Amino acid sequence: MGGTEAWEDAANAVAAAIDSGTDEAEMALAKAFGWTGWFDLNRASYLKPKLPQDIGKLREALRWLSDGPLSLSPEQLRHALAIKPLAYLVGPEKSYHAALEVAPEQFSTPSAFRDLLLREPMALDLTHNCQLTDPDDRPMDDWGEPVHCDGQCTHCWRSSTPRFMGGVLDGVEV
């Protein structure tokens, strides 16, 4: 299957799942697979946008999102894809289980986590929690102190939970 055909099949699958036209589906795909940045930067040669995954896996992911524990409606899925498309289009079931496993107590039940995802779709990408790791296993800084985090901040609950709760992290709004 050629690139154009793969793209069109993926766009049609996403459009059907979100009950929308292919323009909105293509925008979600472009954002998920790096095409918007590539285009915005005048087709920079150092950026290598990807094609969507195998159409069967994409359809399976979309089916899981609507029929699985999240039971997302087309409108809810459309909202999630506008915020964090890659997390929802590639391996959402794996991300769901990983995120739920390390979620803070207030979001650790499937229903509480689903409620959070409806409000904050990016939470599906939070598959790490540095508060659950052993500080003795962390690298040392120049002063011989353990680094206070694992360097997984973009996927870590610790950096996002305060914002979900309307608070701040280490005195800085996040």
The reported pLDDT for the residue numbered 168 is: 67
Structure letter (DSSP) for residue 140? B
- pLDDT tens sequence across 150-172: 678 889 998 888 888 887 666 55
- What span, in angstroms and rounded, lies between the C-alpha atoms of 21 and 78? 11
Query: Partners of 146 in the beta sheet?
Result: 140
74: its two tokens = 């087309």
117-169-32-121 Cα dihedral, nearest 10 degrees: 10
Per-residue pLDDT of the chain (174 residues; tens, 9 = 90+): 567 788 889 999 999 999 999 889 988 998 998 888 776 776 667 767 778 879 999 999 999 999 999 999 999 999 999 999 999 999 999 999 999 999 999 999 999 999 999 999 999 999 999 888 777 777 777 888 777 676 788 899 988 888 888 876 665 554
Nearest to 86 by CA among 148, 149, 156, 35: 35
Q: What is the number of H-type helices and E-type strands within the chain?
A: 9, 2
Q: Are 6 and 51 in contact (CB under 8 A)?
A: yes
User: At a CB cut-off of 8 Å and minimum separation 6, what does 143 contact?
Assistant: none
pLDDT of residue 134: 77
Written as one letter, the residue type at 18 is I
Residue 146 phi/psi, 5-degree rounding, is -65, 140
